[in-house]
């Protein structure tokens, strides 16, 4: 799977410090040292209780096309330090020219609900390569997961109504629009207005006309009639260019003529004013005229709060068009995903940990910012009612046989809280192999299957977790051995700094 927008070399889509560090590893002879990095976030967006993982398909496309072009290298050659001398030796640029990615990458499939501190992507390979991938992976996963989550929230409040994404004009650049349309569909939108997203991603597209269509005619009735004559199988009329109620009357007139010709008035659209009042009034007029099947579409800066409020007011809206607030994730326009070194193959015996890894972590005064070391996997326990808890464990250091025995999970915020899962407990391990030695071994499901997965996942979450106000915290903990290893490492690092 590739994203056509990325046909040009995007291999330099990274922070300069990834390249200077790569140079540092290369020059100090540690470029090939095996490392493990985890990509995770620390807090759900929008004050919510869940996040939808998204962006892996584009990550795969990015990595499969990774290759530094001659132009890329010529550019790096021009970079200089504070003495005016080149930053990089020629031999390093030759090394980059021949660099083939050889990482093993695991990831949680797109459309899965995920929680803070869980590795969404785990990259294992030569530290130089892991480092170069940090920025693009964060860029792609952070944004798509953010928008898919926003769309999933909108889907929850829209219930069975149709949900359309209309955001391209207010999106953050071309790809801010393209990527948002994809993630919004995955999260639960039914269609997009973005034609290029329809073409490239196979998302259904929807749209009829704007105010300018109405304004370009002598009057609204003529504009509506012309539209219906020309596109009789796609008639949703925007009724608020001049006066909304008069607009509904004009639409009904057109609807009558459409019916005579065997077509139908599919809908009317409200884009301003009091949507609760106007939709109720419009529904009444339509029903009285016999247009009970004509849908009422509403748009105008909608988000999950406004949709909830409109529903509580009894608004008669069948189709919700959301734009700006969805594609920019307006109330929290960034997911704070991070990418942290978690283990490094040891080279000397003195610091050896079991299985040959030195475990690595970033200390912080704030407990939430201390990273977790280890070759992490996430085990999600479930029963017939749904998901029970997620346990993060170290694949190389869990209790004897993680597949068959009782495992103990420890609450990361209160180590006295423990939970045991015995061998009879059903589970799924969430991270699946995506790259092996640089070759993709994973086939992304099609976009419709990913979208369906989101809804299945959400039905497995307790309603308290899906609540918007003070959601219940879904339990995520560390497996006991990993907890103990992390605690010991924190103590050791703190001591060293004393």
Q: Using CB under 8 A, which residues numbered 474 to 493 contact a second copy?
A: 493
- Comparing CB distances to a second copy, the nearer of 140 and 388 is 140
If binding is defined by CB under 8 A, does position 99 make contact with a second copy?
no
Q: Which of residues 31-50 bind a second copy (CB under 8 A)?
A: 33, 35, 37
- Comparing CB distances to a second copy, the nearer of 59 and 389 is 59
**d(Cα 435, Cα 123) in Å, to the nearest integer?**
9
- Comparing CB distances to a second copy, the nearer of 341 and 476 is 341
Q: Which of 2, 15, 411, 461 binds a second copy (CB under 8 A)?
A: 15
Rounded to the nearest 10 degrees, the angle between the axes of helix 220-230 and helix 244-260 is 30
Minimum CB separation of residue 22 from a second copy in Å reads 10
Q: How far is CA 21 from CA 63, 101, 128, 444, in A?
A: 19, 17, 8, 32
Minimum CB separation of residue 387 from a second copy in Å reads 28
Q: How far is CA 405 from CA 401, 427, 475, in A?
A: 6, 13, 20
Q: Which of residues 272-301 bind a second copy (CB under 8 A)?
A: 272-273
* Three-state DSSP state, 238: strand
Q: Assign residue 242 a region: left if phi > 0, alpha if psi is -120 to 50, beta otherwise?
A: alpha
- How many Å separate Cα 164 from the centre of its chain? 18
Minimum CB separation of residue 353 from a second copy in Å reads 14
Q: Which of residues 370-429 bind a second copy (CB under 8 A)?
A: none
Minimum CB separation of residue 245 from a second copy in Å reads 9
If binding is defined by CB under 8 A, does position 356 make contact with a second copy?
no
Give me the residues paired with residue 162 across strands.
Answer: 319
If binding is defined by CB under 8 A, does position 194 make contact with a second copy?
yes
Among the listed ranges 177-185, 428-436, 441-449, 479-487, the one in contact with a second copy (CB under 8 A) is 177-185
Site string for a second copy, 109-148 (x = CB under 8 A): ------------------x---x--xx--xxx-xxx----
If binding is defined by CB under 8 A, does position 198 make contact with a second copy?
yes
Q: Which of residues 428-447 bind a second copy (CB under 8 A)?
A: none
If binding is defined by CB under 8 A, does position 233 make contact with a second copy?
yes
* Cβ neighbours for 231, distance < 8 A, ≥ 6 positions apart: 208
Q: Which of 97, 215, 352, 449 binds a second copy (CB under 8 A)?
A: 215
**Strand runs labelled E in 198-254:** 236-238
Q: Is the dihedral of CA 276, 278, 280, 286 positive or negative?
A: negative
If binding is defined by CB under 8 A, does position 224 make contact with a second copy?
no
Among the listed ranges 19-27, 113-121, 153-161, 397-405, the one in contact with a second copy (CB under 8 A) is 19-27
Minimum CB separation of residue 264 from a second copy in Å reads 7
**d(Cα 266, Cα 236) in Å, to the nearest integer?**
5
Minimum CB separation of residue 279 from a second copy in Å reads 16
**d(Cα 498, Cα 495) in Å, to the nearest integer?**
5
**d(Cα 489, Cα 498) in Å, to the nearest integer?**
14
Q: How far is CA 487 from CA 225, 343, 356, 371, 493, in A?
A: 72, 15, 19, 11, 10
Q: Which of 72, 253, 318, 484 binds a second copy (CB under 8 A)?
A: 72
- Comparing CB distances to a second copy, the nearer of 181 and 377 is 181
Q: What is the DSSP letter of 80?
A: B
- Comparing CB distances to a second copy, the nearer of 81 and 354 is 81
* Cβ neighbours for 356, distance < 8 A, ≥ 6 positions apart: 345, 346
């Amino acid at each position: 799977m590739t994203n056509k927008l990325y046909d040009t070399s995007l291999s330099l889509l990274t922070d300069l410090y990834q390249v200077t560090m790569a140079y540092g590893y290369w020059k100090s002879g540690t470029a090939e040292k095996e490392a493990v990095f985890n990509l995770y976030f620390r807090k759900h967006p929008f004050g919510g209780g869940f996040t939808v993982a998204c962006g892996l398909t584009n990550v795969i496309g990015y990595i499969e096309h990774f290759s530094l072009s001659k132009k890329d290298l010529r550019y790096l050659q021009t970079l200089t330090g504070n003495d005016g001398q080149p930053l990089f030796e020629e031999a390093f640029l030759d090394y980059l020219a021949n660099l083939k990615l050889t990482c093993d990458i695991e990831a949680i499939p797109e459309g899965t609900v995920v929680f803070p501190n869980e590795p969404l992507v785990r990259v294992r390979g030569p530290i130089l390569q892991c480092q170069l991938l940090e920025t693009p992976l964060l860029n792609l996963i952070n944004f798509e997961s953010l928008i898919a989550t926003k769309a999933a929230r909108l889907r929850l409040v829209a219930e069975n109504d149709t949900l359309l994404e209309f955001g391209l004009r207010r999106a953050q650049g071309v790809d801010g629009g393209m990527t948002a349309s994809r993630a919004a569909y995955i999260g639960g939108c039914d269609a997009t207005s973005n034609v290029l997203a329809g073409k490239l991603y196979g998302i259904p597209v929807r749209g009829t006309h704007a105010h300018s269509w109405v304004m370009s005619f002598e009057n609204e009735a003529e504009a509506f009639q012309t539209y219906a004559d020309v596109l009789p199988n796609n008639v949703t009329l925007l009724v608020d260019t001049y006066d909304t109620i008069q607009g509904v009357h004009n639409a009904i007139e057109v609807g009558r003529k459409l019916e005579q010709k065997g077509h139908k008035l599919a809908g009317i659209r409200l884009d301003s004013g009091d949507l609760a009042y106007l939709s109720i009034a419009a529904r009444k007029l339509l029903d009285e005229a016999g247009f009970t099947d004509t849908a009422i579409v509403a748009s105008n800066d909608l988000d999950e709060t406004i949709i909830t409020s409109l529903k509580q007011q009894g608004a008669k809206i069948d189709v919700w068009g959301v734009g700006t607030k969805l594609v920019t994730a307006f109330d929290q326009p960034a997911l704070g995903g991070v990418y942290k070194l978690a283990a490094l193959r040891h080279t000397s015996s003195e610091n050896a940990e079991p299985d040959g890894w030195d475990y690595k972590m970033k200390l912080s005064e704030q407990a939430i910012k201390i990273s977790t070391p280890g070759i992490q996997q996430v085990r999600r326990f479930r029963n017939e009612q749904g998901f029970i808890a997620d346990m993060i464990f170290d694949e190389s250091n869990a209790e004897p046989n993680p597949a068959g025995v009782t495992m103990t999970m420890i609450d990361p915020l209160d180590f006295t809280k423990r939970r045991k899962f015995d061998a009879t407990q059903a589970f799924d391990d969430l991270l699946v192999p995506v790259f092996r030695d640089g070759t993709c071994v994973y086939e992304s499901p099609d976009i419709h299957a990913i979208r369906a997965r989101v809804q299945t996942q959400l039905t497995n979450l307790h309603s308290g977790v899906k609540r918007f106000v003070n959601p219940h915290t879904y339990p995520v903990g560390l497996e006991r051995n990993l907890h103990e290893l992390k605690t010991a490492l924190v103590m050791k690092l703190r001591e060293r700094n004393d």
